[in-house]
């Protein structure tokens, strides 16, 4: 049941990232790791559809062809795909993500410069330097997520 809750949360997160209204039903493809996971998903289709806001759920297996132009998420025992056609303007989303990536690149560069400055690293209190290192790691992680989404949309 943990996989189901994780999958519902993943669908909701993708919907929120894309700005899809909670009232709007979306299509979802789930590729399960094995027969056990497929059977579990088959048993809870009506509940899953209601809780995740799904209009049509397609259950497949790992290795099945993934739908084109789809956002994806990986949960324990399954991969989820939400096809974007008709859901958002893909070109507009690509532009938005490119602008976000540009901002993230600037923040990463700013943090890297700060941490490369021996004056800052040697004179600032250790907790301040550590906070800056954590900020850099956070910015880099966000940048990786945006790059991955961009790659999904452009493929």
Name the nearest CA neighbour of 72 among 40, 30, 34, 33.
30
Helices 126-154, 90-116: inter-axial angle, 10-degree rounding? 150
Per-residue pLDDT tens digits for 75-97: 999 999 999 888 888 888 889 89
Percent of the chain with pLDDT over 70: 100
Name the nearest CA neighbour of 73 among 154, 150, 148.
148
Per-residue pLDDT tens digits for 122-136: 999 999 999 999 999
Contact between 135 and 111 (Cβ < 8 Å): yes
Topology annotation, domain 90-154: Helix Hairpins (1.10.287)
Task: Please provide the average confidence, as pLDDT, over all residues in the chain.
Answer: 91
Contact between 28 and 58 (Cβ < 8 Å): yes
Per-residue pLDDT tens digits for 21-55: 889 999 999 999 999 999 999 999 999 999 999 99
* Average pLDDT of span 55-67: 91
Vertex 21 angle, CA 62 and 13, to 5°: 40
Full-model pTM: 0.70
- Does 118 have pLDDT greater than 90? yes
Positions of CATH 1.10.287.380 in the chain: 90-154
């Amino acid at each position: 049941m943990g996989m189901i809750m994780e999958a519902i949360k993943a669908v909701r997160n993708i919907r929120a990232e894309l700005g899809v209204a909670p009232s709007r039903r979306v299509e979802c493809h789930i590729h399960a790791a094995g027969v056990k996971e497929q059977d579990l998903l088959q048993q809870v289709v009506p509940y899953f559809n209601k809780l995740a806001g799904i209009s049509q759920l397609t259950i497949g297996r790992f290795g099945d062809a993934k739908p084109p132009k789809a956002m994806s998420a990986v949960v324990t025992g399954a991969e989820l795909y939400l096809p974007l056609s008709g859901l958002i303007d893909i070109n507009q989303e690509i532009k938005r993500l490119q602008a976000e990536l540009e901002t993230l690149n600037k923040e990463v560069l700013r943090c890297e410069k700060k941490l490369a400055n021996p004056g800052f690293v040697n004179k600032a209190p250790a907790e301040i330097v550590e906070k800056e290192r954590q900020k850099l790691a956070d910015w880099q992680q966000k940048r990786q997520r945006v790059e991955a989404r961009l790659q999904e949309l452009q493929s």
